[in-house]
A and B are shown apart, each in its own frame.
Chain A
């Protein structure tokens, strides 16, 4: 679902939590797991096959396809938050319980579930605003 005025375009998620933020979008049609995909010390994607390999996720709004992998993300977002090496927010087409549990503990805004493929709807590098109360992602 989209709407808004002539310049901003808004997408409404089915699931949302956390605080409102604004930042640069890092977009890929690929999955997300803190354990499998990230070099959490240096703040970059590290799995060789990941479409964002080598790119920094720090303070970016991650827009990806699906939560993947194991349960470690439930702890890791808190640890990443404590060092300031953490995404600003995470936006997914498909969410699993682990990322929601991790976002709840680590205080990372999370949106998931749209009527469109959100990785195709948002341009890489776009400035976006996340408003979990409205379950809204707005392209500025």
Chain B
């Protein structure tokens, strides 16, 4: 990679061991992908729950945080994805002392590095969305696909070590979706029916993710919003998060809706040369049905991504006056939770027997250990992303509407 004077200075260790370690890591990745040089970034977002980090990852962070020489703090606003617990609800979750201690150690290290503990995977709804053509280094696939597609920002999937490195050096290797030519469509999808519910949006995202199939694929999608107007932020949140989860996709275009695709030709100059697919309502309903393996439910979870205030308003309305037989968990960000409390949504959900948690996400919070501790296996959710992930954690996850999931908490059965 071509390094400028400052980058050579960092690599030589003149700014201290922390920036040097960060740049070395970035060069390894950049050279792997054939990056010509670095591009300056304005924000970074770090996925670093302690289930992923483990003892080894926390020790790595602590090593950076303990460094006495040179500059160790991040140089651009650098924020965090959900943590591995909600300390206020750790007893309910049956998180152990060891889990909490590891979490505290990671937080201490991040704070010493100057990282802002926002603990959210919906920063584009709650902290600060990236703008068109803004180069950023975001972790969490849902954040990246939303920022690239809906905001028109430029980011690759930046895992925790790389996002932290970008925060420290203020740059990232210029490859992938930082390059204009990589943002053009590689496949064309026509959707016959626009989804109506968040679970349907997620299921449609999952179907397109499976079709597209790999990180470098960029679907351009027609047919969305032709009747009934443009989808809202929560719909596209579930759509993109599921597409990223099922297919590792980081960018899509909706013709006439997302900023880089005012017209099909903007992102697909020769659309006839692209593979073409048609997706019907039957396809995304079939994906949802494929997860409906039983009617019995042990736990209901609203998470992945964290809920917006609007979603919590809807959950609370459905919980009004109910008494749940099964646990219901709704998870949001630390930015939304105070409003959720203030508007009375938390009280309504918890009066019905539910729990409102913040700053974590279900699958990033020791999901396997929670399943063992609580005897949870059959899990109902309206998140397509969550059902895709939790099979690997020993759950039998089922996808349903928000209404059906709340009903399942009351009756123990998913219709």
Contact = CB atoms under 8 A, between A and B. Distances in A.
Interface string A61-99: 000001111111111101101110000000000111110
Interface size class of B (residues with CB under 8 A): 35 or more
A110 B394 CA distance: 28
B389 A16 contact: no
B52 interface: yes
A98 B33 CA distance: 12
Interface string B48-86: 110111111100100000000000000000000000000
A37 B392 contact: yes
Contacts of A102: 159, 161
B389 A36 contact: yes
Interface string B148-191: 00000000111111100000000000001000000000000000
Nearest to A93: B214
Contacts of B51: 72
Contact of B157 (A17, A47, A97): A97
B140 A94 contact: no
Contact of B52 (A49, A76, A94, A96): A76
A133 B160 CA distance: 26
A15 interface: yes
Contacts of B48: 75
A123 interface: no
A15 B30 CA distance: 11
Contacts, number: 134
Given A71-B141, A74-B161, A97-B215, A35 B389 contact: yes
B78 to A, nearest CB: 15
A100 interface: yes
B32 A79 contact: no
Contacts of A4: none
B55 A79 contact: yes
A48 interface: yes
Given A15-B33, A37-B392, A75-B53, A101 B158 contact: yes
B306 interface: no
B388 interface: yes
Nearest to B81: A71
A69 B245 contact: yes
B209 to A, nearest CB: 9
A97 B363 CA distance: 21
A35 B392 contact: yes
Nearest to A36: B392
A75 B54 CA distance: 8
Nearest to B364: A72
B231 interface: no
Given A35-B52, A82-B54, A97 B29 contact: yes
Contact of B215 (A15, A46, A48, A94): A94
A58 interface: no
B213 to A, nearest CB: 7
B139 interface: yes
A66 B160 contact: no
B160 A74 contact: yes
Contacts of A68: 247-248
Contact of B214 (A66, A75, A78): A66
Interface string B196-238: 0000000000000000011110000000000000000000000
A36 B394 CA distance: 11
A122 interface: no
B159 A74 contact: yes
Nearest to A67: B248
B391 A71 contact: no
A78 B52 CA distance: 9
B159 A69 contact: no
Given A46-B392, A66-B214, A71 B140 contact: yes
Given A36-B388, A69-B389, A97-B159, A82 B56 contact: yes
A118 interface: no
Contacts of B141: 69-71
A70 B156 contact: no
A79 to B, nearest CB: 3
Interface string B12-46: 00000000000001001101111000000000000
A17 B33 contact: no
B159 A79 contact: no
Contacts of B157: 71, 96-98
Given A36-B391, A74-B159, A102-B159, 10 more contacts: A16-B32, A39-B392, A46-B392, A70-B140, A70-B244, A75-B52, A75-B160, A94-B216, A101-B159, A104-B161
Interface of B: 25, 28-29, 31-34, 47-49, 51-57, 60, 139-141, 156-162, 176, 213-216, 244-245, 247-248, 363-364, 388-389, 391-394
Interface of A: 15-17, 31, 35-39, 46-50, 66-76, 78-79, 81-83, 94-98, 100-102, 104-105, 110
24 contacts: A36-B392, A37-B392, A47-B392, A49-B391, A66-B248, A70-B245, A71-B139, A71-B159, A72-B364, A74-B161, A75-B53, A75-B57, A76-B54, A78-B57, A79-B54, A79-B55, A94-B215, A94-B216, A97-B29, A102-B161, A104-B25, A104-B29, A105-B25, A110-B32
